Structure 1
Amino acid sequence: MKKSLIILFILLCLSNIVFAKGLPLSTEVTGEDYSWIKGRQMISLNFNPGVSVFSPMLVNTIFTHGKHIAGFLGVNFGTIGDYLNYAEFKGTSWFLPSVTYSLFVHNQIALEAGIGVYGSTYLLNISKENASKLLDSMGHGEYADVIASDTKFRSSFVFMPATFGVKFYGKKRQFYNAFRLGIDAFFYTIETENGLTGIKTSQSVSDAAVYVSYEIGWNIELFPTKEWRVKPMLDIGLLEIGYYVRPWTGNLYSAVQGNLGILTAGFVQLPIPAWEKVPGWAKIISNLRIGLFPRIGVSIRF
């Protein structure tokens, strides 16, 4: 009995020490033990997939309704339009919500680091039968027997953005101004097969781009009157403006332009200029990074 009382007394003392030294339920900084970290950490999930996911949807729409859109706008794509009329296209995409960790070094200043993963695939196919019809429509039906296989274009992209930045909050820690340095890692593969010429190509590229950006938005606390250990918040980014100091567009443009030229050889000639001949103003515009509502997600502060 005496031993049991001693053990119980020791356990009570230990539990008192643990709760006295442990993280309190309040997320406010009060000057107690561990107060330097209490309420200063935040993990955020961004459910906005960005342009890398919306692009396949846009291209699908253009291929499906391109003829009607061109007619509505009064645009004539000529032989390129004829080429696309015989092509089947499918674009798909996927993404994992980007994750950001923030540490408040001041009541209104937070350092952050984040990472995300996005992917997309584009498939274009012209069957042997459609390729024969295309040649007939162009007055080259005598070459129809030369076609050995379907004409195919396949490209897959994996996009991994990583960001490092600092956020400046208002007095209520809701409205913020964020300044970031971003590194976009690209991994893409482009494969083509020309059924008329028999030429096949395969190109795999790893590339990276660097940008600086500014973003404004809100972190809205969902239950401001509750003193919970973990506080849920709603994230809404209003606008992001940035510029790529190490661009990615030139390398990707050249890769796609070269492979498309091989893909369409013998059918049509694509009037796509080399990147070196693209106007300077167009290159500057392509290096801009502009996003409306770039961040729509949730955060937990603890």
Structure 2
Amino acid sequence: MRKFIKYVFKITFYILIINSFVYLTAFSQTNLDNFFAGDFSTNKILARQFAKERQLLSVNLLPRHSIIFPSFVNSLYKNIETFSGLAKINLNDIKLSDNISAKDILNIVNLKGSFWYIPNISYTLLLNKVIGIELGIGVQSVSYSLNIPKDKMPDFLNRMQSPNMPVSLSELVKALRGENIGFKSSFYYIPIHLGLKIISGRTHKTVNTFRLGLETVVYNIDTENIFSGETRRSSTVESTFYISYELGWQIDLFPNKNWRVKPYIDFSLFEIGVYIKSANKGIYEEIRNSLPHLSDTSAVSKLPFASGLNLESFSLNFLPEWDSFPKAVGFVTSLKIAIFPRVGFTIRF
């Protein structure tokens, strides 16, 4: 994986070096007026017009899914009763343990999603007027955090308390640590793609892009045990592959100007594709395996007065295995579908 990324960066670096050499050569052999007007007749390389208006540098200002899912989670959490009512789901009927329902959890937890991203940048070299090779890269980060504040911890523990327990669970945990339970997941996406760009239409403004993409997904799962306060982090790196098709347009901001460098506005209608290798199963299983650590009772079981206590009911391992889902779930989650995935600009030179 690292070798592949280094290889891609080397290609990009060599392209920049070659372009710099070409334009420095042209600049040294022409005056300023001719250079910016695109007149390179005195330069043997550029006089062939090989590079003239055949290079595109594009920036996509949209963060894609890095903004959709955290915003959706925040909205869903704030309006969960409205959404559950519309879906005709009774949250009290969803039991996470013997004494705790989904509604009980939502009343005492804080859930928040956040994101940041570096816009996707792509370079295209047109082999002729309508066909080009595209290479692009970007960075996206998505984080979700869930915690129970210290002031709400006693209520949470009392709901976990078994009626026949001889000790107060909240007092027990307070003696151990007195902190709050926490769960945080962070995902970093580094998409790199190689594409075939076909410019079509009467005015050559319709852009069809066929991509073969590689996404490096780095995800960290942090959990904080409710009893001992012990924190645990699991980190995983996965590579995913996908193929996709994107339909978009370019708008020439100055169609009547014959400039050497021309700016365009980009926007796309949709992108549709499929992941040949997806990271969804790995992410789901990592989260599933991390949840039991939140309620691991080994710290309590070692205490002298804890012998004989039945603490098994505190397990939060309520998520089913990924393989237990219908195959349709794997297929749907492997689809790469985006509406209006691109709004940005292109510099053609």
Which TM-score tier does this pair reach, normalised by the shorter chain? 0.7 to 0.9
Distance 2:29 2:61 in 1: 41
Query: Which amino acid in 2 is paired with 1:127?
Result: P
Query: Which amino acid in 2 is paired with 1:145?
Result: E
What's 1:68 paired with? Answer: 82
What's 1:225 paired with? Answer: 256
Distance 2:236 2:152 in 1: 31
Query: Which amino acid in 2 is paired with 1:281?
Result: A
TM-score (norm 2): 0.75
What's 1:11 paired with? Answer: none
Kindly indicate whether the alpha-carbon contact (under 8 Å) linking 1:199 and 1:262 is maintained by their aligned counterparts in 2.
no
Deviation at 1:268, TM superposition (A): 6.5
**1:112 has 2:129 as partner:** no
* Candidates 174, 184, 187, aligned match of 2:205: 174
CA gap of 1:267–1:67, structure 2 versus 1, over 3 A, is farther
Kindly indicate whether the alpha-carbon contact (under 8 Å) linking 2:242 and 2:277 is maintained by their aligned counterparts in 1.
yes
**1:143 has 2:169 as partner:** yes
Distance 1:15 1:277 in 2: 65
Deviation at 1:194, TM superposition (A): 2.1
Deviations 1:121-165 (A, max 9, x none): 222111243232123345648322222321001122211101100
Identity of aligned residues (%): 32
Distance 1:172 1:291 in 2: 26
Q: Which moved more, 1:71-80 or 1:53-62?
A: 71-80
Please give the residue correspondences for 1:237-276 in structure 2 after superposition, counting only pairs within 5 Å. Answer: 237-263=268-294, 267=314, 269=316, 271-276=318-323
Distance 1:262 1:67 in 2: 28
Number of residue pairs aligned between Structure 1 and Structure 2: 285
Distance 2:91 2:160 in 1: 14
* Candidates 178, 182, 194, aligned match of 2:225: 194
Please give the residue correspondences for 1:1-302 in structure 2 after superposition, counting only pairs within 5 Å. Answer: 17-19=29-31, 25-26=37-38, 33-78=47-92, 79-137=101-159, 140=162, 142-147=168-173, 148=177, 149-170=179-200, 171-196=202-227, 198=229, 200-263=231-294, 267=314, 269=316, 271-302=318-349
Distance 1:240 1:51 in 2: 12
Distance 1:63 1:116 in 2: 29
CA gap of 1:164–1:82, structure 2 versus 1, over 3 A, is same
TM-score (norm 1): 0.86
Query: Which amino acid in 1 is paired with 2:30?
Result: V
Distance 2:46 2:223 in 1: 64
Distance 2:203 2:123 in 1: 20
Kindly indicate whether the alpha-carbon contact (under 8 Å) linking 2:60 and 2:345 is maintained by their aligned counterparts in 1.
yes
Deviations 1:188-236 (A, max 9, x none): 2111012136554210111110000011110111111101121110111
Kindly indicate whether the alpha-carbon contact (under 8 Å) linking 2:143 and 2:185 is maintained by their aligned counterparts in 1.
yes
Distance 2:242 2:140 in 1: 18
Deviation at 1:54, TM superposition (A): 2.1
Deviation at 1:288, TM superposition (A): 0.5
Deviation at 1:96, TM superposition (A): 1.2
Kindly indicate whether the alpha-carbon contact (under 8 Å) linking 2:294 and 2:316 is maintained by their aligned counterparts in 1.
no
Kindly indicate whether the alpha-carbon contact (under 8 Å) linking 2:291 and 2:316 is maintained by their aligned counterparts in 1.
no
Distance 2:333 2:258 in 1: 47
Distance 2:53 2:172 in 1: 71
Between Structure 1 and Structure 2, the one with more helix by share is 2
Kindly indicate whether the alpha-carbon contact (under 8 Å) linking 2:70 and 2:144 is maintained by their aligned counterparts in 1.
yes
Q: What RMSD over aligned residues (CA atoms) do the two structures have, in Å?
A: 2.5
